[in-house]
Each structure stands twice: as structure tokens, then as C-alpha cells.
Amino acid sequence: MNLVIDAGNTQIKFAVFRRNRLLHVESSLEAGFADHIKAVFQQYPGISTAIISSVSKLDARAADVVSVFCKTYVLSPRSKIPFKNSYATPQTLGPDRLALATAAFYHNPKGNTLVIDAGTCITYDMVNDRGEYLGGAISPGLYMRYNALHEFTDRLPLLTPENILDFIGNATESSIHSGVVNGITLEIDGVIDQYKSRFPDLTVILTGGDAQFLSRRLKNSIFAHSNFLLEGLNQLLEYNKS
């Protein structure tokens, strides 16, 4: 069995796989990381290998904790990957984007795939039908946009995502919701349209913490897949083990 650890900007996800089958997934904050790891190994003593992907400062300390229990890989730009990486600065490519590209490569090996990860940031990652990772884009995520409006102004309130009844806000709060929610959906649809104009038969995968909130608002056809990054990490672990 494999243990996959995805340390994002706001939370840590733990997943247990038996080969390609997802057995268990849970989330936590960074506090109490060692206790969570111990509990996972108590529940699944058959775990023999683990992989850690971290976009925070967790990776070094996490590896020390996890390696007590099993062989541990820390995903980095030096890790083996199954696709051709044409990113101009591969050493700066985040491990989360490496994992998403891997999942895209295995999910649609002979097709064009755009992966959109709607989390703290929104990342766009493109793998073409020749198995080549081309890059993509990074923009502020849903909550980051709400926080920015509050933090960088004197009077705008801090809000959380909400359904918008009309794209015309008739009060300050409804105007903020319209600007953030309507703006982010128009951005995503616009980006998808750009990629569709260049890549035929494009498959679009939407994942991340805000995927469900955003998916029903998009006009483009997409596949929502909440565990896409975790599957990519497990595939990378299997690839590096071999």
C-alpha cells in the first residue's frame, strides 16, 4: 500500500492507495501532523511506501516523521516523471503541478488535457496528445480574491463564497459576490475557450477544493474530479518505485 501526502497552502491531505485503488482520504491542518501520520499507519499497517508533495515548508519535517514508518519519497524537480517536461524553468515548477500533469498523462495518454486546480490559487496545466507538458497559468483563487478585496481596502467587508442571483450587484455585498464569483467563472470559461481554439478534442479536468462550487457555473463541458492530484501523486510514486 502507498501513502500519499499533499501539503497545500491551507491544509494537508492524506490518502492511502492499494495500487491504483483509493482506500482512504482525510484532511487536516499542519498542527498535529505527526499524530495524524501515526493514526494512518495504525489503521493501515500494510503501507510500505509514501510520497510527499508540499508547496509549503512542511516537506523536510514531514519526511523525517514519515520515514520512521516506511520508505519515503519527497517529490521535487529531480523526481522521475513519465511525460516530457517542456516547462522553461522546470526547477520552479511546483510539485502539485507535476502531480496534476502526471494524472492528466495517465488519464488521457493520447489526448489533449487541460487540468484546472481551483484551490488557494487556480492553476492551469496543459498536457498535449504527444505526452508533453507545456505549462499553463497561475491566478488567485476564490478565497484569495475575497481576502484581497478586504485586506487592500479600508471598508470592504470580508465575505465567503455565495450564490449570485444576478450579475448586477445592487449593494456592496452582492457587488463583491458578483465581482468575485462571476469574474472567476468568466475567467475559467475564457481560458478553456483559448485552449480549445488551439487544441482539438480537448479534455478539461476541474479539481481542487472549490471545484464543486465552480463546476455548475461554467458553460464549458468539464469533468470534475476531486482526487485528481492525489491520483497523480500515487502514479508518480509507483513510477519512481520502478
What residues contact residue 97 under an 8 Å CB cut-off, 6+ apart? 117, 123, 125, 136
135 is in an annotated binding site: no
Q: What pTM, to 2 d.p., does this model score? A: 0.93
Is 72 marked as a binding-site residue? no
Q: Looking at residue 59, what is its pLDDT?
A: 63
Respond yes or no: is residue 201 known to be catalytic. no
- Residuewise pLDDT in 10s, the chain (242 residues): 999 999 988 789 999 999 899 999 998 887 788 888 999 999 999 999 999 998 877 767 788 899 999 999 999 989 999 999 999 999 999 999 999 999 999 999 999 999 999 999 999 999 999 999 999 999 999 999 999 999 999 999 999 999 888 999 999 999 999 999 999 999 999 999 999 999 989 999 999 999 999 999 999 999 999 999 999 999 999 999 87
Residue 94 annotated as part of some ligand binding site: yes
The CATH architecture annotation of domain 2-74 reads: 2-Layer Sandwich (3.30)
pLDDT of residue 28: 84
96 is in an annotated binding site: yes
d(CA 27, CA 125) in angstroms, rounded, equals 24
The residue written with cell numbers 497561475 in the block is 138
CATH 3.30.420.40 region(s) of the chain? 2-74, 84-232
Residue 9 marked ligand-binding: yes
Write down the CATH number for the domain with range 84-232: 3.30.420.40
Cell 475567467 locates to 187
Options 96, 125, 189, 201, the catalytic residue: 96
Spatial distance between the Cα atoms of 23 and 186, rounded to a whole number of angstroms: 36
H, E, C per residue of the chain: CEEEEEECCCCEEEEEEECCEEEEEEEECCCCHHHHHHHHHHHCCCCCEEEEEECCCCHHHHHHHHCCCCEEEECCCCCCCCCEECCCCHHHCCHHHHHHHHHHHHHCCCCEEEEEEECCEEEEEEECCCCEEEEEEEEECHHHHHHHHHHCCCCCCCCCCCCCCCCCCCCHHHHHHHHHHHHHHHHHHHHHHHHHHHCCCEEEEEECCCHHHHHCCCCCCCEECCCHHHHHHHHHHHHHHC
- What integer pLDDT is reported at residue 117 of this predicted model? 97
